[in-house]
Amino acid sequence: MKEKLEEIKTKGLGKIENIKNITELEQVRKDLTGKKSELSKVLKSISDLSSDEKKSIGMLTTEIKTSFIEKLKLKEEELIASLSVLEEPIDLTIPGNKVNEGALHPITQMRNDLNDAFLSLGFEVYSEDDISSEKYAFDNLNFAKDHPARQSMDTYWLEGTENKEGAEKLCLRPHLTGGSVRYLQKHGAPVRFVYPGGAYRNETTDARHERAFFQYEALIVDKDISFSSGMVLIQTILEKVFGRKINTRMREGFFPFTEPGYEIDMECLVCGGKGCKVCNHNGWIEVMPGGVIHPNVLKSASLDPEEWTGFYINIGLDRLVMMRYGVDDVRLFHSADLRFLKQFK
Amino acid sequence: MRVSLNLIKKYVDLPKDLTDKQIAYDMTLRTVEVDNVEDVSLKYHDIVVGKILEVKKHPNADRLKICITDIGEDKPVQIVCGGSNLYEGEYVVVSKPGAEVVWHGEGEPVKVKETKMRGENSYGMICAAEEVYLDDFFPADSETEIIDLKGIDCKPGDAIANIIDMNDTVLEIDNKSLSNRPDLWGHYGIARELSTIYNVPLKKLSKYELDKNLPKYNVKIEDTTKCNRYVAVEIDGIYEKESPIWMKSLLSKTGQRPINAIVDITNYVMMTVGQPLHAFDRTHVNGEKIIVRNAKENEELLLLDNNTIKLTTDDLVICDEKDAMALAGIRGGKKDSILPDTKGIVLEVANFSASTIRKTGKRFAEKTDASIRYEKGIDTQRVDEGLSLALELIKEIFKESKIMKYNDVYPNKTKNNEIKVSEEFLDTRLGKKIPKDKIEQILISLGYELSYNKGVYDIIVPTWRSTGDVTIKDDVMGDIARILSFDSFEAKPINITIDHPIIQNDVLLTRRIEEYLSSRCGFYEIYTYPWIDEKYIRAAKIDISKSLKLATPPAPSLAYLRSSLIPGMLEAIAKNVRYYNEFRLFERSEVYQKGDYRPSSNDEILPVQSNYLIGCIVGKNAKEIFYEAKGVIENMARYCHMENIKLEKKEKPNYADINAYLNITKDDEIIGSFGLLSVQTMSDAKIKRTNVAIFEINSDKLNAYASRTNKYERLPELPLVEKDLSILVNKEVEWKTIEESIKSIVKEIEFVDEYKGSQIPSDKKSITLKVKMINESTTMTSEQINEKINHILKALNKKCGAELRTE
């Protein structure tokens, strides 16, 4: 009897070992541990044996059954682990499906980055309209009466107004600065705000010059602040935009609406300040002019220059974006060319 | 402007350890932008003096000679040369191997090599002037003439750069950065800046004392508002000759072409002190009288090339008794030219008002070195500096010359500006306290005179800064700040006061819309120009009666400014369909229309300007892209958190297809349009083989919600029952009718699909819709569901004539 049981055990374990799938497993489970299994038959046939023998055979049978159950469980786990939802393996190198396309213009992306940075410093966002007048584009900003920028070679005047003067002579704004006086007239001081937008100048275009371009200007007007605070602002902004500290230098510059005025150069990111074609071999790129707001500009905004002061910074958005990506032709920004725009996700 | 450091060093002793690069850097930071630092000797490297010891025939060439030449090395060298003026004992210019020369004065420089010419060795070359940038110094009479250094103090081996004073560095200064500094248009002004930057003394200009008893030269200024001062000096013993090498050298380095000694002297003076001068041939001045007056109507000025220029009564001219000789401060005419028969001159040193020069200069497009300087505004005292230096140089170069007559008519003197500046002002605005002695050193060195009393400086501005440059205390503060260097000020933190929230809902809404379109709906953002091509205005059928035009447009066809974003978008689509079949674009920009808009002050009336938003979907299947675009508009309000906008059919936009357009409305006002581009518009805009769904909204009319406004809905406790129903209706029945007919009896209704085709009668369409139903308090039983469906179908049948479609 014992030999028979040993045989059942060996055969049974062998069967379990050879199971290929879950269906087979269920069949084998039934065959080995079910009511009609050989083990059950053995148990049924031992009723005429002595109680001692009954006991030992019974124990042996139970032991074999337990080992079957354990083995089956292991086998089941093994089989489930090797199951797949796929009928057959798939090509893992086929590219995934495309996501929704579409993107903001790189200029807008930069503008948003700057807006976020300035917002965290308590600046409001303002936007002036594209069409302004000589009064706001030049007179209020302390431009001399016969300043060359007022000429039609430089500024786009509107037909029918080009021979008028001041508030009646209209133009596409040649810079954003005129908006500063509009805002100050409306809101007074102290105040800090940014005003991004497009500016337009009658120029011959090439890879570095455009008739329509983007600026981003910021102005703080307050009491007792010094121009040296401008430096902090600029460094904060550049660090935010480029994600790391950028070397800058501040040098003499002249603008009618500032006194003193300065130019802010950043190290050329193309050559790391060593000097290359992009930076005209001097390692620095002019990115933002700025300066202390001229007393005459404050006066045109009805603010007392004895009481108030402040400073501008004006960021050339086109140039900053060109630096960020290494874009080599400024005209691409207005090209509406998807081959270009699709590069900025 | 090109600045020679050698000339600068005549007026200021710069610290010894300074490199030229450092000077340029310090100047860029503090005064003006230096674009380039040029070592002018580089052009002349390996070019030396040679002495021809022996001239031999070349065995294989008639035109070539073999010259045994001493070039200051151990042994004489053999050089083959084709020069026509070679002789033994001649001092010549030799380019040694390694030097760079320009063949026959044309093209790029070429490196000289030791070579064989027709079988004979040649160590370098004996040069003609044009081959080694020396034509200004040694003008040649014929092409084959080589430079003969006769009369020049030199010995074999001397570097030619030394002989012509080219061991020098030239700083190239960006003229734009000089535009507000009339004092810097001469070397002496730059020297003054450097003396201040490095705190070293500036040497005084010498003063030439004129004999007080000289007879008067007859000068009359008719318009004293335009001419502030006119000095005329008649000098005899001046004739046409070459100027000395050092003077030619300075002119050549600073970008002036040497002409003859007297013209060169006037240019040299201008380059040195910034005062333009003019010399007239004495015998050409009819009646020995100079009149400064406005030109007469139709008066003409005869130029050296026998052309004439027409003058107007606004132009100031220098005349003799008969006619105009020169356009004041801008250019001379034929009469003032120095010619071979010149024996004496009348020297003009004058001051003309900046606005006159600017006005006349603008009409004659060409700018001259003189007019550039005058139009910046020069002080009248500069005449003295120019005159002294000119007379000194004339005495030196024309030893036999004699001053015959003199006059100084001086109606307007440049006054010194006077400014009070308090220490307190400087401390606050500069952000730190600068020691008093430092402030004084800077200002005095720049030429200011100052006295200090109880915390206040009384400042007298030098005349050369008083013509508009320095007028208020901020200008003085600016001078201190820049000389100290802006970079030397510690960056001061900016305080942020939080006293009110920054709420700018319109700014946020714009951003949400831009992000909705680009990130959620797959549009690419574009920017187009505000001026638009008439071709696309016509294609979009835009009414131009309210459009604005530019006075001087970028091109004749680009004169109109946009009153809609449609034309610009048409152009963008036309460009991109060349490369892509399907794409989506959007733009948000301003459009303009004639009108009355006063954003800031009552006297300023601007055109009406509004921010518009335009979007388009380009694709082959017109119906599909129509519904795609419709979805973009319908969902905008919900996703962008703004007040609702609707789509209603009211009036056909000019660009739209007759069968597919809607208006975008808000509170019953039309604020935009939407539709498929018409066949005509696409053909006019050359948009081929595709279709376009386009929408345009006046985005100023959109209103942001101040916060998110939707309420949370409790999740249903009972399951919603969903059923898809396919019904057959007549073709003309609109979805809206179907929806309205059962809206009140179901929880939700959704459009699924529309079908027209062979499987159903041709006057019918099949609509599949999804209805969602729910009971108040218990789960719906199948009987209840069937009952509800029957109810729905009955309603659909009654209101739309719908039948349930059976497969």
SS3 of B752-797 = EEEECCCCCCCCEEEEEEEEEECCCCCCCCHHHHHHHHHHHHHHHH
Q: Where are the alpha helices (DSSP H) in chain A?
A: 2-17, 22-33, 38-45, 51-81, 106-120, 134-137, 178-187, 228-242, 295-300, 317-325, 338-341
Query: Touching check for B565 and chain A: CB below 8 Å?
Result: no
Instruction: Yes or no: say if B336 and B326 are a contact pair by the CB < 8 Å rule.
Output: yes
CB-CB neighbors (< 8 A) of A233 in chain B: 494
Residue B50: which of B29, B76, B18 has the closest Cα?
B76
Residue A194 contacts by C-beta under 8 Å, 6 or more apart in sequence? A114, A115, A118, A123, A124, A125, A126, A216, A217, A218, A219
Structure-token pair, residue B83: 């020069």
**CB neighbours of B162 closer than 8 A, spacing ≥ 6?**
none
Based on the number of CB atoms within 10 Å of its own CB, is A228 exposed (0-12), middle (13-18) or buried (19 or more)? buried
Interface A–B counts its CB contacts (< 8 A) at 241
Read off the tokens for B246: 């050092």
Residues of A in contact with B493 (CB under 8 A): 229, 232
Residues of B with CB below 8 A from A119's CB?
Answer: 502
Q: Among B35, B249, B228, which Cα is nearest to B134's?
A: B249
Q: Does A113 touch chain B (CB under 8 A)?
A: no
Could you tell me which of B378, B355, B477 has the C-alpha nearest to residue B419? B477
Residue A295 to residue B472, Cβ atoms within 8 A: yes
Cβ distance of B600 and A105 shorter than 8 Å: no
pLDDT at B741: 93
Chain A residue whose CA is closest to B178: A254
Residue of A233, A252, A262 with shortest CB distance to B494: A233
Contact B556, B601 (CB under 8 A): no
For residues B583 and A342, give the distance between their C-alpha atoms in angstroms, rounded to a whole number.
11
What single letter denotes the amino acid at residue B198? Y
Does A213 reach chain B within 8 Å, measured CB to CB? no
**C-alpha span between B63 and B179 (Å, rounded):** 55
Residue in B358, B474, B585 closest to A259 by CB: B474
Look at residue B362 in the predicted model and tell me its pLDDT. Answer: 81
Alpha carbon of B3: minimum distance to chain A alpha carbons (Å)? 18
Q: Which of residues 448-507 of B touch A (CB under 8 A)?
A: 468, 472, 474-475, 477-479, 481-482, 485-487, 489-494, 496-498, 502, 504, 507
Phi and psi at B283, nearest 5°, equal -75, -15
Within 10 angstroms of residue B339's Cβ, the number of other Cβ atoms is 13
Look up residue A312 and give its amino acid. Answer: Y
Picking from A186, A251, A336, the nearest residue to B486 by CB comes out as A251
Count, in order, helices (H) and strands (E) of chain B.
19, 39
Q: CA of A38, closest CA in chain B: separation in Å?
A: 51
**Chain A contacts of B430, Cβ < 8 Å?**
226-228
Handedness of CA A220, A221, A225, A227 (dihedral sign): positive
CA atoms within 13 A on the CB side of B453: 5
Q: Using the beta-carbon criterion (under 8 Å), do B502 and A182 form an inter-chain contact?
A: no
Query: Do residues B612 and B695 make contact, with C-beta atoms less than 8 angstroms apart?
Result: no
- Residue B329 CA to residue B230 CA, distance in Å, equals 11
Which residues of A fall within a CB distance of 8 Å from B699? none
Q: Name the percent of chain A lying above pLDDT 90.
A: 50
* Residue A149 in tokens: 């920028």
Nearest-by-CA chain A residue for B429? A226
Specify the pLDDT at position B807.
59
**Shortest alpha-carbon distance between residue B94 and chain A (Å):** 33
CA distance B336 to B277: 12
- Taking CA–CA distances from B522, the nearest residue in chain A reads A102
Q: Strands A124-125 and A212-222: what pairing?
A: unpaired
Write out residues 4-43 of B within 8 Å (CB-CB) of A: 28-33, 35
pLDDT at position A49 is 79
**Burial bucket for residue B411 (CB in 10 Å: 0-12, 13-18, 19+):** middle
What Cα–Cα distance (Å) separates residue B281 from each residue in A94, A188, B318, B325, B342?
88, 63, 13, 11, 6
pLDDT at A280 over 80: no
Q: Which of B424, B525, B528 best tests the A interface by mutation, with the highest count of A CBs <10 A?
A: B525
- The token pair at B795 is 């309603």
Percent helix, strand, coil in chain B (nearest 5)?
A: 30, 30, 40
pLDDT, tens only, A230-263: 878 888 888 888 888 888 888 999 999 999 999 9
Decide if B715 touches A, using CB distance below 8 A: no
Question: Which of B507, B575, B607 is facing A131, going by the closest CB pair?
Answer: B607
Q: Please tell me if residue B316 touches chain A, with a CB cutoff of 8 Å.
A: no
**Residues of chain B found within 8 Å of residue A105, distances taken between Cβ atoms:** 524-527
Question: Inter-chain contact B549–A102, Cβ cutoff 8 Å?
Answer: no
What are the residue ranges of helices labelled H in B516-604?
Answer: 534-539, 566-576
Whether B193 and B439 have beta carbons less than 8 Å apart is answered as: no
Which residues in chain B come in under a pLDDT of 50? none
Question: Mind telling me how many Å the CA of A178 is from chain B's nearest CA?
Answer: 11
CA B383 distance to own-chain centroid: 33
Please say whether the beta carbons of B446 and B192 come within 8 A.
yes
Contact B497 A122 (CB under 8 A): yes
User: A102 in contact with B at a CB cutoff of 8 Å?
Assistant: yes
CB-neighbour burial class of residue B434 (10 A; exposed 0-12, middle 13-18, buried 19+): middle
Residue A147: name the closest of A36, A42, A255, A69 by CA. Answer: A255
Q: Is the CB of B606 less than 8 angstroms away from the CB of A160?
A: no
CB crowding B697-711: b at 16 or more within 10 Å, else e:
bbbebbbbeeeeeee
The answer to whether A157 contacts chain B (CB < 8 Å) is yes
Please answer whether residues A261 and A254 qualify as being in contact, where contact means their C-beta atoms are separated by less than 8 angstroms. yes
What residues of chain A lie within 8 A of the CB of B481, using their CB? 227, 260
Cβ neighbours around B40 below 10 Å, total:
22
- Mean pLDDT (whole number) for A215-221: 95
Task: Report the amino acid identity of residue B314.
Answer: D
For testing contact with chain A, the best of B34, B494, B603 (most A CBs within 10 A) = B494
Location of structure tokens 């500016």:
A199
Which amino acid is located at B535 in the chain?
Answer: K
- Of the candidates B468, B486, B521, the beta carbon closest to that of A102 is on B521
Out of B511, B550, B606, the one facing A156 most closely (by C-beta) is B550
- Cβ distance A249 to B487 less than 8 Å, yes or no, reads yes
- CB contact under 8 Å between A158 and B548, yes or no, is yes
Encoded tokens for B392: 């000194």
| pLDDT tens-digit map of A45-78 | 777 778 888 888 888 888 898 999 999 999 999 9
* Residues in B 167-226 with any Cβ partner in A closer than 8 A: 177, 179-181
The answer for A 235-294 residues in CB contact with B (under 8 A) is 235, 249-254, 259-263, 280, 292, 294
Closest CA to B408 of B251, B281, B233: B233
Which residues of chain B lie closer than 8 angstroms to A161, CB-CB? Answer: 551
> What's the rounded Cα separation, in Å, for the pair B507 and B521?
20
Which range in A34-38, A176-180, B427-431 is most confidently predicted, on average pLDDT?
Answer: A176-180
Q: What angle (nearest 5°) sits at the alpha carbon of residue A17, between those of residues A16 and A21?
A: 70
Task: State whether A229 and B549 contact (CB < 8 Å).
Answer: no
Provide the sign of the torsion angle of the four alpha carbons B408, B412, B414, B415, taken in this order.
positive
Q: Report the gap between the CA of B194 and the closest CA in chain A (Å).
A: 14
Selection from B306, B304, B293, B294 nearest residue B331 by Cα = B304
Q: Decide the pairing of beta strands B748-755 and B47-57.
A: unpaired
pLDDT reported for residue A268: 85
Q: Per-residue confidence at A323, pLDDT binned at 50, 70, 90?
A: confident
pTM for the whole thing?
Answer: 0.85
Would you say B164 and B245 are in contact if contact means Cβ atoms under 8 Å apart?
yes
Asked if B402 and B214 touch (Cβ cutoff 8 Å), the reply is no
Measured distance CA(B154)–CA(B151) in Å, rounded: 9
Report the alpha-carbon angle B410-B411-B412, nearest 5.
100
B504: nearest CB among A125, A133, A212: A125
Q: Select from B24, B31, B78 the least CA-distant residue to B56.
A: B78
> Does the beta-carbon distance from B478 to A185 stay under 8 Å?
no
Q: Residue A104's closest chain B neighbor by CA?
A: B525
Helix or strand (DSSP H, E) at B723: strand B721-730
Quick one: tokens of B365? 């497009």
Q: What is the DSSP letter of B608?
A: E
Q: Is B424 at the interface with chain A, CB within 8 A?
A: no
C-alpha–C-alpha distance, residues B625 and B413, integer Å? 76
The distance of Cα B261 from the centroid of its chain, to the nearest Å, equals: 38
Chain B touched by A228 (CB under 8 Å): yes
- Rounded to whole angstroms, the Cα distance separating B406 from B216 reads 5
User: Do the chains contact at A129 and B571, CB–CB below 8 Å?
Assistant: no
